[in-house]
Chains A and B, each alone.
Chain A
Amino acid sequence: MAVKSAMVIAGSFAIGMGVTAMGARADEIRIGFIAPITGPFAQAGKDMVNGWEMYSDEIKNDFAGATIKFILEDDQAKPPVGVLKAEKLIRQDKVHIIIGGVLASTGYALAPVSTREKTVYIAPVAAADDLTQREADKYPYFVRTGWTSSQPTHPFGEWACEQGYKRIVAIAADYAFGYETVGGFQRTFEECGGKIIQKIWPPLGTIDFGPFIPTIKQDADAIFTLMVGPMSLQFPKQLAAAGNKKPVIGGGTSYDEFTLPSMGDEVIGHVSVLQYSAALDTPKNAAFVTKYREKYGKVPSYFSETTYTTGLMIHAVLKQSGGKWPGTEEFVKLISDVKVDAVRGPVSLDDMRNPVHNIYVKRVEKKKMFGYDKEELWNTVIKTYPNVSQFWKFGKAEFLKQPVYSRDFPPCKFCE
């Protein structure tokens, strides 16, 4: 008797389990993640993967009932490889969403694939301006959760004027991201009375700046730099070795958190601008940094924050759709209206699907933060520009009338 009732109980329990398991079985959503896992940008790629993984682990891969199948592909930061990997993810793995790409050029290469294959492409890092500006119409399934290259440097130009800088030399990596970052800075800086007196373009991946540093004009008030990957480590070192005494300011990637710990004291006092800083003094960020550091043994960079926030935004969409895949077009529509309180601050998308978020001006300082007992280099936030859109104060229509920032635009009127 006892045995029988035990069996009944066990049986009903098993049935109950089966039913709940069935009920919870919402969609499996497949996400293809493209990031450089090998090559000079591997560090950035790793941070991107970590950020996503951390969010997914935090919610135990329960995106409002949906489980996400995460498929990682290595693009070695080469656009043609990225295109092939995207084709593989879409055709073979039948992913719903592609996330990734580090370089602006990868973004430009992947966006047409998303249009061709009618698949959502989310760019958490690739910052090529035109993808959400003049060419946005061509890429209806493209969404950005990161930034446009010129977005942080627009306010930064005004900030430079406020510091009393009049004449600035720009030295930046020779590719689209460099042109657009410098372009945004030049435009606003010259509108408030500053002058860019020289532009120097070392090739992407330069690690010996010997031929470039001596050409920097000696009568400049400050140096604006835009370095990426391994370049960011070498440039300040060699600049200091050359005896530079001028203030150095720059785009955010010049002082990324993943290179900052390896930098020397020569970068103390350098000022850069970005939508995130690991030293952002908010409870949310303190928790994020502490947890991230515990898990991965290093400070998160904006690469980690942006994929973490991407997870948050996708989660928000799936909450609305009840854990079901809403379809490509509907997904893009839903994510366009998402507003999240992210680690970097409030984030929403404008009508061209580019984030509107805070921009932080940050100074490298050596100090203790978040209760760590060692003195370290941190990007201390010294000024916040709230809710900055990719069009800054210019207004969308007026902004889109000008050509995209390039090597020759804005023209270097004051170059000597």
Chain B
Amino acid sequence: MEVERRKIRALSPLDQPRTPEDLRSRQLRARDILRGELEGADLEQYVEERVMTTTLDKVLNVARANSMFPLTFGLACCAIEMMSMVTSRYDIARFGAEAFRASPRQADMIILSGRVSIKMAPVVRRVYDQMLEPKWALAMGACSSSGGMFSNYAVVQGADKFMPVDIHIPGCPPRPEALLHGFTKLQRMIQGNPDPGWRRRYNAIGTEEWARGGPASKPSPEAAEAYRRARELVDA
């Protein structure tokens, strides 16, 4: 039987065949670098390729965002999704947050995974207060964001009533992918580069409910101001 063999992708630049002269000149250049004899434009290029200047704060934020230590803290059914986020299938280790710490003293992120009852709220607050700065909080799912389906006497209607929350993740419960998405948004926030709102991102300014028209359509002053600012950003 005849088999047709075909290359499935082009060779990368490193694999391209080179002439012997090319190889020789690279060898000489490498020797000059090692001896410290590089001069002039060659030296400039060498330095530019290898040195990056930035501020200490930015480097610190990159380090913090990419090495998070979440707290081992499950509140309800969302905790199951939170646990599966650590498994090999979703693998939060890709983003540097696989080490769930069992002590708030060693953690810098708390995931509020579930409804917070009024009896649990002081406990959550205390655990949050025990964490060392800098620290971040993720409200996972409808319950910890707004009380969700538990609109009753026993559940706090949103965890941000008693502690600061950085990111709210919708869902009941959110899929692990959604949690990862929220986590990467938090990472970007820590690095000082938060996401623009989704309307700006998808060029959807003007699709707000009140802006679509209708008889009773009139924005509040705050909404009108936010709309004006968003328009400025889009038009700029």
Instruction: Decide whether A and B assemble into one complex.
Output: no
